[in-house]
Structure 1
Amino acid sequence: MGPSPRKETPRTKPPRREAPRDDAGSAGTPTKKPGPKKPAQKPAQKAPPKPAQKKAPAKAPPGKSRAGATTQNAHTARPPRTGPRGPRPGGGSGRRPPPRGPRTRVPFHRRDPLKRLNVGLLVVAFVLSLFAGRLVQLQTIESGKYSEQAMRQRLQKIELPAIRGDITDAQGHPLAMTVEARAIYADPSLIKADKRQTIVNALAPTLGLNPSTLMKQLSKPDTRFVYLAHGVRPDQARLITSWNFLGIGTLPEYRREYPNDSLAAGVIGFVNDTGKGAAGLESSMNGVLAGRAGWQRVEISPEGQHIPMGEDQRRPSEPGRGVRLTLRRDLQFKAQQAIEKQVRATKAKSGSVIVMDPRTGRLLAMASAPGFDPNEYAKSDGDLWGSPLVQAAYEPGSTGKVVTAAAVMEHGGVTPHTPYTVPDTIRKYDIAFRDSHPHATERLTFAGVLATSSNVGTIMASESISSQRLYQTLRDFGFGTKTGLPLPSETPGLLKPPAQWSGTDRYPIAFGQTVSVNAVQMASVYATIANGGVRVEPTLVEGTVGDDDKFTPAREPRRKQVISARTARQISDMLEGVTTREGTAPRAQIAGYRVAGKTGTAENVNPRTGGYDGGGYTASFAGFAPADDPQLVVQVVLQDPKRGSHYGGDAAAPVFKDVMSFALQSEKVPPTGSRPPTVQIHARD
């Protein structure tokens, strides 16, 4: 059998220990003789045996816990001093004091884990209460504010373009029309960086876009909407949609088309890629044609698609009004074909043809060359986008002599039979003025002066009136004043008042130099002669057409009696002599019709020198038919013809004949059958 278990003494409450006294006695207690004090014993409780004194434990090696040391007390007693201890200062006898008892340490108590758990739960509850409070704030107090912000982020305002009004000729044939198209747009915020190049590679060649510009548009992640292209054909838009690029979409819009390509392009103009008129009538009448665009707010999903049940607000667009012109499509085509052909044949810089009804002022054709195709305006030279018929000024030359004739016959007492002795050169002050061809001195009637287009004879006749009278007659015929046509950038030409004339200016002005006009102004001069001296404002717009097809006519053009009907009739008879064999334009004759007209050959100012040398020529012809009942006026201008003759009777008169012949037939103007008057060219002594 093993050893019997040790018999342990029952543990009782330890006796109360008092601090040992020193020699001087303890403060606050009575002083007795020094000596060890016996521990106090409580009655009815047996004192435990005195524990044996232990040596100080050896220091534990590094890394080894002291927890392995076994003690009976909870704390190790302080080791006793080894050396002798001397008497304390102020002590009694030198007797050694008793050793101190072991120091009592405050025992370490771990915190209650339940208490710590409660504290943690309180912290969590506090944080959750903050979140809950904020949530309540967002969903109640500020819910409307943030809901509105979220909705704004999902809404996009899309423009609803108005249907642009059509431009038609006088018979309703479309010259400019609107067709359905698509706009291509992007939402760069939805396009990932690694997808941008793929989209650029697909869209740029399909839409004809610049790749670098397209990449910049797509590389703006903070942007929600940007247009990439306008006026895309529906089949192209369907192709792009089939690629399913995230962030790329299409919107319905309209595209402008010009079904006759370059026909009347200088008059009609074009609409640019933003849908605004940029030239011609498309620009000047944009406010009438464009209508008013509407808008629509649509809710967009994160994928860029319309949410079917989303908020949808809309203001519908208002369509523009159509514009009906006075032009005749067939006549316009003939005029344009004729001038393009002659510009090529003569290697002229440019040319123009105008056909006009002198009785109403309506312009039936306005053609110019070279032209451009408004369907592909970006591929043409920007200098061609304008309308040279009103924007380009030129010196009329001899075609302007009819105004001088009107002035001297109305106010200077000159008649068609007034005789003049006409050399080929005349000197005024220090300047010599010459006829276009050298000739011997001739005796000509004033009708002969006009028929042979003599500069010298015109100067002689102009001396019968004052400079002021000549100036006022030019103004009455429309020189120096815009025609009022609704075309952009019209020039009024150049006509200085007499106070600004130099001493010799009146002489070249008399035969059409040092003044300038546009082509429509000059056509209006001959329309005034043909209309019995009554000037009717040129008219291009017949009226407008509403969405309900209701036609609203334009205002009636202003009319003014410029010269008497008698003078106009006399000038008309003299102009018939121009187209005879003795005149300067026999090539303008039309079989079966009486034709009146006038040639013009003017020197152009050289922009490098400011003089006429080396500036080239302007060849022109203006006339009307039938001369005895004028219904049509045709004006032809060629700028700087280089091949063949540069005279108006050779370069411009054949175009007049070609266009006038077609116009008489298309307008169903029958020959009058009357005989032309006999024009006396040479004076009878």
Structure 2
Amino acid sequence: MGRNLGSFKTRVRILGLFFLFFAGLLAGRLFFIQVSGHDFYLSKAERQYNAPYQSPPSISVRGDIYFKNKSDTLPPLTAGTVKSGFLVAVNPTLVENAEFVCGELNKIVVVDEELCVERASKKDDPFEIIAHRIEDETVKKIEALKIEGVGLYPEQWRFYPGGSLASQVLGFVGYKGDELVGRYGLENYYEDVLKGKKESLKTRASFAMSFFDLGKEILGTEILTGYDIVLTIEPSVQSFLEKKLADLVDDWDAEEAGGIIMNPKTGAIIAMAGKPDFNPNYYNEVEDISYFRNSLISDIFELGSVMKPFTMAAALDAGRIDQNTTYVDNGYVVLNGAKIENYDGKARGRAGIQDILNESLNTGAIFIMQQLGKKKFLDYFEDYGFREKTGIDLPAETSGDLSNLSSFRDVEFATASFGQGIAISPIEFTVAVASLANGGVLVRPYVVEKVSVDGVRDEITKPVVLKRVLKEETSKEITRMLVKVTDDALMGGTVKMDRYSVAAKTGTAQLPKEHEAGYYDDQSLHSFFGYGPAFDAEFVVFLYLKKPQGVRYASHTLTNPFMDIMSFLFNYYEVPPDR
């Protein structure tokens, strides 16, 4: 041990003398800056290259991100990894002919020659970046030029092989000083995991780092080694969902669309996407930063008639109604001086509770809420999780808004019964739908299935049941009712699946005005949820479409995409038919 340590010290001393010798030959003017990242370069821009070479204080090896493979026997697929290379920089104080330097560089790497000349001509600035992400073969060509004042410096960057796939879930990585750090998405939420822990590493000083090849090892460099993570997201399902959402935006000239596919038994997110989105490889080219935002967890919406099954389930669960319950539908109700109508303004006369869901009757939802009572109604909606965060492992989650009900005015509870006046996040809503599908419990949603620690052991996410909100029998009963909606009422009963039972409900809601009371007559939010196979559900699907043009109802925009998604899921996962 002592002999090895002495040998180490001797090598370091020799290396130091060797370095000083060359420094003397170069008239003591070896300029070097060890940097990695745009912000860091800017902070060092006024420093001269007058320090001898030193090993870098730290190197970051960020953990990789993987998509889940549908088969656990197959390896996961890369979602995000780290690439290493070099950047080209010039020291304008050493550049004699900026046009010549930039012309020569432009023969090897694509540079903006005009901008290059401008930067290379800044005689009061010792460091200007010309090009990023230079790989080995190009490095050799630049080295061969041997142009004074031109240097290559190591840098790392995050690479996402799938491009925009799951971009709003993944987020992206950018530089903070000389470190890659997560911004948005799980890159941000799992920053400490992906960044990892400090270790020591042997590194080699190269020509590309110091303008000439020392060819010696530098010991004791500090390295941050990150842990790898494997997602619950399956890339083929994610891609299929994203294609459907993109088509929806295009077909209906909509402002945005979003969707979630979740396992209702575990809370595992199989797919989550919003459109429009972005390519995290080129995040710095995105002009509208709202594309970085995951609206499925960060925004809340008045969702409309998809809330009616929750009103119905609460009253069934509390024993206030049953399948024999009826009411007289006059087509409208007046409460606190406000007239509330069915979507078509028509009366149905005496109607049963199945009719309320089949025909999406606002008056029926109000009647059910009144049988339950305002306090009990609010208790159930709070139990569904409509005013609290789900705890999903993604940043910037927001909670639903039930504040409209604090007044206890009849009209506010009436409109809330069919999804108006209260706002819910899509992830909150999806988790609540899962309670209808899974026997009546709330589960915590999650996007990371496991963390690989030291490449040896895995820390696996265990599904968490948060609480029971409905009796198991209530879950089965509301599911039976929603299957009837799909089989008999949705698009006139034309979308019934012969081999699978599917529970579903649509919602069409007017969008509230942004800076004043009331709602827009010509702006709407379409929503759709469903799950299947209905009585042993493997998948919950939620879709929304904001501001579609030229169409009034969600049944016309979202039914076919939903049924396509369900068919794909049943086939892709080879789910046995239940009919």
Q: Same-fold call, TM > 0.5?
A: yes
Give the fraction of aligned pairs with identical amino acids, expressed as a percent. 26
Task: Give the corresponding residue for 1:63.
Answer: none
2:163 aligns with one of 251, 261, 268: 261
* Structure 2 SS opposite 1:602: strand
Q: Deviations over 1:161-189 (max 9, x none)?
A: 32221111122111112233223344455
Query: Which amino acid in structure 1 is aligned with residue 285 of structure 2?
Result: K
The CA deviation at 1:468 is 2.8
Matched, 1:446 2:353: yes
**1-structure distance, mates of 2:493, 2:260:** 20
**1-structure distance, mates of 2:351, 2:549:** 32
8 A contact 2:254–2:548 mirrored in 1: yes
**2-structure distance, mates of 1:287, 1:211:** 41
**2-structure distance, mates of 1:300, 1:362:** 46
Task: Give the corresponding residue for 1:350.
Answer: 256
Task: Give the corresponding residue for 1:232.
Answer: 134
Matched, 1:462 2:359: no
8 A contact 2:300–2:426 mirrored in 1: yes
Spell out the pairing of 1:579-658 with structure 2 (5 A cutoff). Answer: 579-583=486-490, 586=493, 588-607=495-514, 609-614=516-521, 616-643=523-550, 645-658=551-564
* Structure 1 SS opposite 2:488: coil
* Structure 2 SS opposite 1:490: coil
The CA deviation at 1:273 is 5.8
**2-structure distance, mates of 1:242, 1:442:** 88
Task: Give the corresponding residue for 2:237.
Answer: 331
Matched, 1:359 2:270: no
The CA deviation at 1:229 is 4.9
Aligned residue pairs total 521
8 A contact 2:53–2:210 mirrored in 1: no
Task: Give the corresponding residue for 2:192.
Answer: 287
Matched, 1:180 2:105: no
Q: Deviations over 1:474-519 (max 9, x none)?
A: 1211212122222222221322174345552111111111111222
* Structure 2 SS opposite 1:155: coil
Identify if the C-alpha distance between structure 1 residues 356 and 605 changes in structure 2 by more than 3 Å, giving closer, same or farther: same
Task: Give the corresponding residue for 2:571.
Answer: 665
Identify if the C-alpha distance between structure 1 residues 299 and 654 changes in structure 2 by more than 3 Å, giving closer, same or farther: closer
1:161 aligns with one of 50, 56, 59: 59
Identify if the C-alpha distance between structure 1 residues 545 and 316 changes in structure 2 by more than 3 Å, giving closer, same or farther: same
8 A contact 1:493–1:518 mirrored in 2: yes
Identify if the C-alpha distance between structure 1 residues 631 and 651 changes in structure 2 by more than 3 Å, giving closer, same or farther: same
**2-structure distance, mates of 1:560, 1:458:** 25
Query: Which amino acid in structure 2 is aligned with residue 177 of structure 1?
Result: T
8 A contact 2:532–2:538 mirrored in 1: yes
Matched, 1:305 2:211: yes
Q: Deviations over 1:578-608 (max 9, x none)?
A: 1133356745532311111111111101225
Identify if the C-alpha distance between structure 1 residues 311 and 336 changes in structure 2 by more than 3 Å, giving closer, same or farther: closer
8 A contact 2:61–2:226 mirrored in 1: yes
Spell out the pairing of 1:38-57 with structure 2 (5 A cutoff). Answer: none
Q: Deviations over 1:666-685 (max 9, x none)?
A: 12211112xxxxxxxxxxxx
Query: Which amino acid in structure 1 is aligned with residue 78 of structure 2?
Result: P
1:528 aligns with one of 435, 440, 443: 435
1:219 aligns with one of 116, 122, 127: 122
Task: Give the corresponding residue for 1:394.
Answer: 301
* Structure 1 SS opposite 2:86: strand
Q: Deviations over 1:120-142 (max 9, x none)?
A: xxxxxxxxxxxxxxxxxxxxxxx
Identify if the C-alpha distance between structure 1 residues 324 and 312 changes in structure 2 by more than 3 Å, giving closer, same or farther: closer
Task: Give the corresponding residue for 1:557.
Answer: 464
Identify if the C-alpha distance between structure 1 residues 558 and 209 changes in structure 2 by more than 3 Å, giving closer, same or farther: farther
The CA deviation at 1:472 is 2.1
Task: Give the corresponding residue for 2:473.
Answer: 566
The CA deviation at 1:438 is 2.6
8 A contact 2:234–2:270 mirrored in 1: yes
8 A contact 1:161–1:253 mirrored in 2: no
Greater mean deviation of Cα atoms: 374-383 or 232-241: 232-241
Task: Give the corresponding residue for 2:34.
Answer: none
Identify if the C-alpha distance between structure 1 residues 396 and 517 changes in structure 2 by more than 3 Å, giving closer, same or farther: same
Task: Give the corresponding residue for 2:43.
Answer: none
Task: Give the corresponding residue for 2:453.
Answer: 546
Task: Give the corresponding residue for 1:251.
Answer: 153
Greater mean deviation of Cα atoms: 335-344 or 380-389: 380-389
Identify if the C-alpha distance between structure 1 residues 522 and 247 changes in structure 2 by more than 3 Å, giving closer, same or farther: same
The CA deviation at 1:312 is 4.3
2:399 aligns with one of 476, 492, 497: 492
* Structure 1 SS opposite 2:520: coil
**1-structure distance, mates of 2:271, 2:388:** 22
Task: Give the corresponding residue for 2:3.
Answer: none
Task: Give the corresponding residue for 2:16.
Answer: none
CA RMSD of aligned residues (A): 3.1
The CA deviation at 1:571 is 0.8
Structure with greater strand share of residues: 2
The CA deviation at 1:335 is 1.0
Which consecutive residues of structure 1, in runs of 5 or more, have no partner in the other structure? 1-146, 674-685
* Structure 2 SS opposite 1:318: strand
Q: Deviations over 1:241-264 (max 9, x none)?
A: 333222322234433222122211
Query: Which amino acid in structure 2 is aligned with residue 176 of structure 1?
Result: G
Q: Between Structure 1 and Structure 2, whose CA radius of gyration is higher?
A: 1
Task: Give the corresponding residue for 2:40.
Answer: none
Matched, 1:278 2:183: yes
Matched, 1:413 2:320: yes
Greater mean deviation of Cα atoms: 259-268 or 493-502: 493-502
Identify if the C-alpha distance between structure 1 residues 290 and 595 changes in structure 2 by more than 3 Å, giving closer, same or farther: same
Identify if the C-alpha distance between structure 1 residues 209 and 484 changes in structure 2 by more than 3 Å, giving closer, same or farther: farther
8 A contact 1:395–1:513 mirrored in 2: yes
Which consecutive residues of structure 2, in runs of 5 or more, have no partner in the other structure? 1-23, 31-49, 70-75
Identify if the C-alpha distance between structure 1 residues 638 and 290 changes in structure 2 by more than 3 Å, giving closer, same or farther: same
The CA deviation at 1:309 is 8.4
Q: Deviations over 1:44-95 (max 9, x none)?
A: xxxxxxxxxxxxxxxxxxxxxxxxxxxxxxxxxxxxxxxxxxxxxxxxxxxx
The higher-RCO structure (CA 8 Å, 6+ apart) is 2
The CA deviation at 1:197 is 4.5
User: What is the TM-score when the length of structure 1 is the normalising length?
Assistant: 0.70
Greater mean deviation of Cα atoms: 358-367 or 551-560: 551-560
**2-structure distance, mates of 1:198, 1:555:** 61
Structure with greater helix share of residues: 2
**1-structure distance, mates of 2:203, 2:159:** 29
User: What is the TM-score when the length of structure 2 is the normalising length?
Assistant: 0.82
Identify if the C-alpha distance between structure 1 residues 341 and 591 changes in structure 2 by more than 3 Å, giving closer, same or farther: farther
The CA deviation at 1:218 is 6.8
